């Protein structure tokens, strides 16, 4: 069994991923994992002449300026604690990078600005906007006690968004003038949710729900003019778009966007639907009339596609090919909605393996919570399916991709209604003949939900796998930096009285099913210390559990070996406790 699991997992982890970042002087800049680490590469516009730009594992990459050869990226200098410094390389990887003189911070938004950088960084005391140039020193421009992210810049203007009014159910746009130092907060309507703005000349493009349903709008800063985004074509009106994966301006001032419907994305260029393979596109660039796109699905890792000027044909130019054994392990993939305890319809993916039904099933809980399981590449899900498990992946209340009203349902109630949604997903799996036994598994917020579900609903699970989870919200808050303290306050809507009820540490004696705990040693989002205390209590109470601490690893996977440290023990544990045999 161990050899089979290891072999299949290695095939998945070693499959490279390619994600487009932008275009720099007729070269594609992209992120790749082909050498086992997350690094920045470049190629010509046909995907040839590939050059590695970075030597280190990178954390963030700024969209390049297509008029110069600068490539801006950040590197974790704290062994996984996400304290980063910024480097300036070139698009051929031919020169030694310059390093910005700066205090290491957690970077929340990294932008190339002219021949330098603008970024948002979080320290222990505040979140601030900074500017810097190669060979220079970072300058703090503005600081706040609110969460905000820089998302775009145009000459002397930097824009972004955040919870700038302190309301956890709204987000506002900021406009920062580099000449005057003025930080202006803008919202179409107080209390509305406004997505990350992109700027072209003096006009912002952003999503907003200020008129109810989330739509795209433009705002001309100079004219103080807000309008619905305008398009030449109306193909997008034929689709029930629930959310927006991404959007932006082309080099000629046209608008592109990726609309989300039924867990998948559709690309639109000036309102015209762009043909591409089924899955979830995440980013697009136009250059001289040609479109370049990142696309993946459950069965295909991220690849970069070139789309013809007539928008009717997409072909991969930097392609990731999954091993046939892994592809053949997938059965049917189904998108559906089931009703939860309060009749709310919960979107869900069922990703079947070729194993018989009903059979061993994993209820997979995504992180975030403001994230989702879409029809896109997911190493964890692929690893489970390849090893014979069916996967039920609910997008519980609070998930993105289904409108702001749905996403906001989680605020003030984490581990409440969303946990019930997960319980009802399990119920659905049995009723529909998918599962004969169910384990629960998740990472980050999914790890928190696994810890909580196994003590709040202890009778339901054959076993549980909790990765990088939270067992004690009070201690996590105490250990967090500025942004994560704010995150906890926002998630709970200031209801600190809920922290105890939603912390598994206070119900540890109720655990009945075997539990596998997986945790990075240097995680600063979900610190290790509270989880060690939880494990100690499990030991004192004689509970069945195992614990694996991944050395020198942070919350974010920047090395493919990190995925092995998390997934291999998880798969062995699940195979054992779900009674999988060597023939599965």
Enter the tokens of residue 482: 């500025």
Mean pLDDT of the chain: 95
Q: Write the DSSP assignment of 409-477 as a string of letters.
A: GGTT-TTTHHHHHHHHHHHHHHHTT-EEEEEEEEETHHHHHHHHHHHHSTTS-S-EEEES--S-HHHHH
Q: What are 2-55's pLDDT values in tens digits? A: 889 999 999 999 999 999 999 999 999 999 999 999 999 999 999 999 999 999
Which is the catalytic residue, given 523, 562, 575, 577?
523
Active site residue 555: yes
Q: How many whole angstroms separate alpha carbon 312 and alpha carbon 183? A: 43
Give residue 1's pLDDT. 74
State yes or no: pLDDT of 584 exceeds 50.
no
State yes or no: pLDDT of 121 exceeds 60.
yes
List the one residue out of 115, 106, 156 whose CA is nearest residue 134.
115
235-262 mean pLDDT: 94
290-318 mean pLDDT: 93
Which is the catalytic residue, given 366, 390, 555, 577?
555
Which is the catalytic residue, given 74, 208, 340, 444?
444
Residues 6+ away with beta carbon under 8 Å from 141: 128, 129, 130, 131, 176, 178, 181
Active site residue 310: no
Q: How many whole angstroms separate alpha carbon 543 and alpha carbon 547? A: 12
**Residue that has been written with the tokens 């704010």 in this structure:** 486
Contact (CB, 8 A) for 101 and 108: no
Give residue 581's pLDDT. 61
Q: How confident is the model at residue 201 (pLDDT cuts 50, 70, 90)?
A: very high
Q: How many whole angstroms separate alpha carbon 477 and alpha carbon 527? A: 10
Residues 6+ away with beta carbon under 8 Å from 225: 219
Residue 4 phi, psi (nearest 5): -65, -45
Assigned fold of 17-318: Methylamine Dehydrogenase; Chain H (2.130.10)
Q: How many whole angstroms separate alpha carbon 436 and alpha carbon 447? A: 23
Pairing state of beta strands 390-394 and 345-353? Answer: antiparallel
Q: What are 417-452's pLDDT values in tens digits? A: 999 999 999 999 999 999 999 999 999 999 999 999
455-464 mean pLDDT: 98
Q: How confident is the model at residue 583 (pLDDT cuts 50, 70, 90)?
A: very low
550-554 mean pLDDT: 93
In three-state form (DSSP H/G/I as H, E/B as E, the rest C), the secondary structure along 259-293 is: EEECCEEEEEECCEEECCCCCEEEEEEEECCEEEE
State yes or no: pLDDT of 580 exceeds 80.
no
546-566 mean pLDDT: 93
Contact (CB, 8 A) for 56 and 75: yes
Q: How many whole angstroms separate alpha carbon 477 and alpha carbon 393? A: 28
Q: Write the DSSP assignment of 91-128 as a string of letters.
A: TTS-SPPEE-B---BEEEEEEEETTEEEEEEE-SS-EE
Residue 451 phi, psi (nearest 5): -55, -45
Give residue 311's pLDDT. 77
CATH 3.40.50.1820 domain residues, the chain: 324-577
Give residue 310's pLDDT. 79
Q: What are 42-97's pLDDT values in tens digits? A: 999 999 999 999 998 999 999 999 999 999 999 999 999 999 999 999 999 999 99
Q: How many whole angstroms separate alpha carbon 121 and alpha carbon 123? A: 7
Assigned fold of 324-577: Rossmann fold (3.40.50)
State yes or no: pLDDT of 582 exceeds 70.
no
What H or E segment, with its residue span, contains residue 363?
Answer: strand 359-365
Q: What single-letter DSSP state applies at residue 58? A: P
Active site residue 444: yes
CATH 2.130.10.150 domain residues, the chain: 17-318
Give residue 491's pLDDT. 97
Helix (H, G, I), strand (E, B) or coil at 338: strand
Q: What are 130-182's pLDDT values in tens digits? A: 999 999 999 999 999 999 999 999 989 999 999 999 999 999 999 999 999 99
Residues 6+ away with beta carbon under 8 Å from 258: 244, 245, 246, 247, 265, 266, 267, 268, 281, 282, 284
Q: How many whole angstroms separate alpha carbon 525 and alpha carbon 563? A: 17
Backbone conformation region of residue 329, classed left if phi is above 0, alpha if psi is from -120 to 50, else beta: alpha
Distance of CA 370 to the CA centre of its chain: 9
Name residue 102's beta-bridge partners.
Answer: none
Q: How many whole angstroms separate alpha carbon 439 and alpha carbon 455? A: 13
List the one residue out of 230, 149, 244, 160 whose CA is nearest residue 197.
160
List the one residue out of 9, 51, 8 whose CA is nearest residue 29.
51
Q: How many whole angstroms separate alpha carbon 107 and alpha carbon 82? A: 8
State yes or no: pLDDT of 312 exceeds 80.
no
> How much of the chain exceeds pLDDT 70, in percent?
99
pTM of the model: 0.96
Residue count of the chain: 584
Residues 221-245 as b/e (b if ≥16 CB within 10 A, e otherwise) read beeeeeeebebeeeebeeeebbbbb
Residues 6+ away with beta carbon under 8 Å from 150: 108, 109, 110, 111, 118, 119, 120, 129, 158, 159, 160
């Amino acid at each position: 069994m161990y050899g089979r699991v290891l072999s299949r997992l290695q095939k998945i982890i070693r499959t490279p991923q390619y994600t487009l970042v932008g275009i720099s002087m007729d070269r594609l800049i992209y992120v790749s994992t082909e050498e086992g680490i997350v690094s920045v590469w470049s190629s010509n516009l046909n995907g040839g002449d590939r050059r590695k730009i970075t030597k280190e594992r990178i954390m963030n990459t700024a969209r390049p300026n297509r008029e110069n050869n600068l490539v801006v990226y950040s590197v974790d200098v704290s062994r996984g604690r996400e304290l980063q410094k910024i480097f300036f390389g070139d698009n051929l990887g031919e020169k030694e990078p310059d390093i910005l003189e700066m205090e290491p911070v957690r970077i929340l938004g990294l932008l190339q600005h002219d021949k330098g950088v603008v970024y948002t960084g979080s320290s222990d005391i505040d979140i601030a906007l900074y500017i810097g140039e190669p060979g220079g020193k970072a300058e703090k421009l503005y600081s706040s006690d609110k969460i905000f992210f820089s998302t775009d810049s145009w000459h002397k203007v930097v824009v972004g968004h955040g919870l700038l009014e302190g309301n956890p159910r709204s987000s506002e746009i900021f406009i920062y003038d580099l000449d005057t130092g003025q930080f202006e907060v803008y919202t179409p309507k107080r209390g509305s949710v406004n997505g990350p703005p992109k700027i072209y000349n003096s006009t912002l493009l952003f999503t907003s729900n200020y008129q109810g349903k989330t739509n795209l709008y433009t705002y001309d800063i100079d004219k103080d003019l807000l309008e619905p985004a305008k398009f030449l074509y109306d193909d997008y009106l034929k689709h029930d778009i629930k959310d927006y994966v991404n959007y932006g301006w082309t080099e000629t001032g046209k608008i592109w966007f990726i609309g989300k419907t039924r867990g998948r994305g559709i690309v639109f260029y000036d309102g015209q639907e762009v043909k591409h393979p089924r899955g979830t596109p995440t980013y697009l660039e136009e250059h001289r009339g040609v479109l370049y796109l990142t696309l993946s699905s459950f069965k295909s890792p991220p690849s970069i596609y070139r789309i013809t000027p007539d928008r009717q044909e997409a072909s991969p130019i930097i392609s990731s090919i999954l091993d046939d054994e892994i592809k053949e392990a997938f059965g049917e993939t189904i998108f559906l909605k089931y009703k939860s305890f309060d009749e709310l319809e919960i979107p869900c993916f069922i990703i079947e393996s070729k194993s018989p039904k009903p059979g061993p099933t994993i209820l997979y809980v995504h992180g975030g919570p403001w994230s989702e399981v879409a029809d896109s590449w997911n190493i964890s899900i692929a690893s489970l399916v390849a090893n014979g498990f069916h996967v039920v992946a609910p997008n519980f209340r609070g998930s993105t991709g289904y409108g702001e009203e749905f996403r906001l349902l989680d605020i003030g109630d984490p581990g409440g209604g969303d946990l019930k949604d997960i319980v009802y997903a399990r119920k659905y799996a049995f009723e529909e003949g998918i599962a004969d036994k169910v384990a629960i598994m998740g990472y980050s917020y999914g790890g928190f939900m696994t810890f909580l579900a196994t003590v709040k609903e202890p009778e339901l699970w054959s076993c549980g796998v909790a990765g990088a989870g939270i067992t004690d919200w009070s201690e996590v808050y105490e250990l967090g930096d500025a942004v994560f303290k704010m995150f906890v306050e926002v998630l709970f809507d200031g209801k600190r009285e809920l922290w105890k009820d939603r912390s598994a540490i206070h119900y540890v004696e109720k655990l009945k099913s075997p539990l596998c705990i997986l945790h990075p040693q240097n995680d600063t989002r979900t610190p290790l210390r509270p989880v060690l205390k939880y494990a100690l209590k499990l030991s004192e109470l004689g509970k069945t559990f195992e614990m694996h601490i991944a050395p020198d690893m942070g919350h974010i996977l920047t090395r493919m070996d990190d995925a092995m440290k998390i997934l291999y023990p998880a798969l062995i544990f699940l195979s054992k406790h779900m009674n999988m045999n060597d023939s599965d």
